[in-house]
Each structure stands twice: as C-alpha cells, then as structure tokens.
Amino acid sequence: MKRQSPIAGRTGPAAVAISAFVCLAFTPMVRAADWSDTALSLRYGTKFAEPYDNDSNGKRVDITKEIIALTNATGFKYGTTFVNIDFLQSDHNDPGGGIAGNPGAQEVYGVFRGTFDLGKITGAKLAMGPIRGYAVTAGFDVNTKNDGYASKKRLIVFGPTVEMEVPGFLNLSVLLFDESNAPAAIHRRYHYKNHATFEADWGIGIGDLPLSFNGYAQFITSKGKDEFGAQTAPESHIDADLMLDAGSLAGLSKKTWLVGVEYEYWHNKFGNNAKGPAGEGATASTPMVRVEYHF
C-alpha cells in the first residue's frame, strides 16, 4: 500500500465529485438550524511527511504543504453537523503522479459528521456530573489525490459518543470504520477489514482570554491486510491548534478573524507500518501556522 491519503486531480470527474459533495454536505438542516458557523482557513507547514517518500538513505523527506479549508458547523434541534473540505497543495517532494520532477501533488479531502443527541431526541435528561449527554455519531469521508498511489478513499463512520461538560465541547467516541479504496495499481475497489477508532474531538475556550484550544485525537486499530497483502498497523493521529481572536483585539467583531499555531502528529500514517518498507515517511510531526475567517 503506497498510502491512503486524501486526494484530487486538477479537473474532470474529481472536480465534479467534490462539487457534488459540497452541495450535499452544506444543505442539510439549514432551515432547522439553531446556529451555524462557516469558516475559510489557511494552514502552512514545511514538515509534512508521506509513507514511502524517503531519500536514498531511507530518511524521511520533509514536504511543504499549503492547505485551504472550508468548514461548517451547525447546531439543530437534535444535535450538530460538521463539514470540512481540505484542498491541499504539496511541493515537489510529494510529486504529482509520483514522478520525480513533477510539480507537487494536489489533494482534496472531505469529511461529514452528524452527532445526534439522545437526550434531545427522547426528551430525557441524561446529563450527570461531568457528562453533558450521550449521542450517536455517523458520517463519511471521501478523498482523491493525483500522486502515484492515486487514492480514492471512501469511509463510513458510526458509533456512540459521550459529550462532556466543558466551556465549549469535548466529545469522546468509539467509532466503527468501514473503509475502502481504489488506487490506480489495482483497478478495483478494495475493502479493508472493519476496524475501531477511539476518538476525542474538542473546541474549548480558555477562561476569559481571547483564546481557544481545538482539535482531535484518534487511535485507529489495524484494518487487516492492505490491497497488496501487507498487514496494516494501528495508527495514532493528533491534530490540535491554539487560536487567538485577533479580530476582537483589533476592534472587529468577535470570533471573525483568528490566527494561531497548529501541530499534527501521525504515526503509522494510513496504516503503513513505520518500521516496514514505508519507512520514516509513515510518521509525520508537523508544526503549522493557521489563519481563519469566520462568516
């Protein structure tokens, strides 16, 4: 398995598919929304890594990426929805088509999650102590990338969630992942073994300061054999950011312009064993700068 990364070509079917995804993901429950927050963000880092992207000595090659994201979070009567679409541009160290000398690969990765609060649905008061409520989370990921592996990932997600009482939100979930991919090398869709993920998602205000701490952490169990017959490895994936409400400090509306720093750690990326042929590129430790505009 070269990698299972997000995705996208410059034009053609991929662009059409992503456009359809945007339309479908942003329209549900709009009229029933209690609140909604949409943001456009930019991330930049120079220490990204990809499995198998190593130098002649087997050392990890640092990849520079710019990531533009469109994000929407909406609250409605029975829960919340979350949509995020990343548009990623790599430098030449992650070349398009996997061919050295080509311009950097382009990716698009789309995520949809719906969290349905059981207390709100049933009318029962389920809050107790540090627990705000209980929910069911469901959703999917789709991706495509124009590197040598040419990922076309499809992921269905389902499982229970515990909502914790914090200033903001903290959700703890146990999720079942049903994942498949159709890379260029096998000319068909391959389904991995269903596997579990233990996940935390949070967005927490820091006292009265114009700061917020946001992110997610996942431990993803092995998904069995990959499409080439190799055993996949469990993954650890953390992505967190600390954001300053710079707009409010400049006299603008609160929570409109945010600036900050972000850090991502990903071990055994996409299930590739960092101790195997994927090499050091299967572990990424990536600091980034981040800017967000909310509207």
- Identify the structural domains of the chain with CATH numbers, from first to last: 13-237+266-287 (2.40.230)
Q: Where are the alpha helices (DSSP H) in the chain?
A: 13-26, 118-122, 246-249
**Which residue pairs from 207-211 have beta carbons closer than 8 angstroms and sit at least 24 positions apart in sequence?**
210/244, 210/245, 210/248, 210/249, 210/254, 211/242, 211/243, 211/244, 211/245
Confidence (pLDDT) at 7: 32
Confidence (pLDDT) at 5: 36
Confidence (pLDDT) at 57: 84
Question: Each residue's pLDDT tens digit in the chain (295 positions)?
Answer: 444 433 333 344 444 444 554 555 455 555 568 999 999 999 999 999 999 999 988 899 999 999 999 999 999 999 999 999 999 999 999 999 999 999 999 999 999 999 999 999 999 999 999 999 999 999 999 999 999 999 999 999 999 999 999 999 999 999 999 999 999 999 899 999 999 999 999 999 999 999 999 999 999 999 999 999 999 999 999 999 999 999 999 988 999 999 999 999 999 999 999 999 999 999 999 999 999 999 9
Nearest to 80 by CA among 169, 19, 140, 141: 169
Task: Give phi and psi for 180, each to the nearest 5.
Answer: -145, 165
Q: Quick check: 18 and 85 in contact, CB under 8 A?
A: yes
Confidence (pLDDT) at 191: 98
Is 97 strand, coil or helix? helix
Confidence (pLDDT) at 73: 97
Is 17 strand, coil or helix? helix
Q: How far is residue 102's CA from residue 196's CA, in Å, rounded to a whole number?
A: 37
- Tokens in use for 75? 């609250």
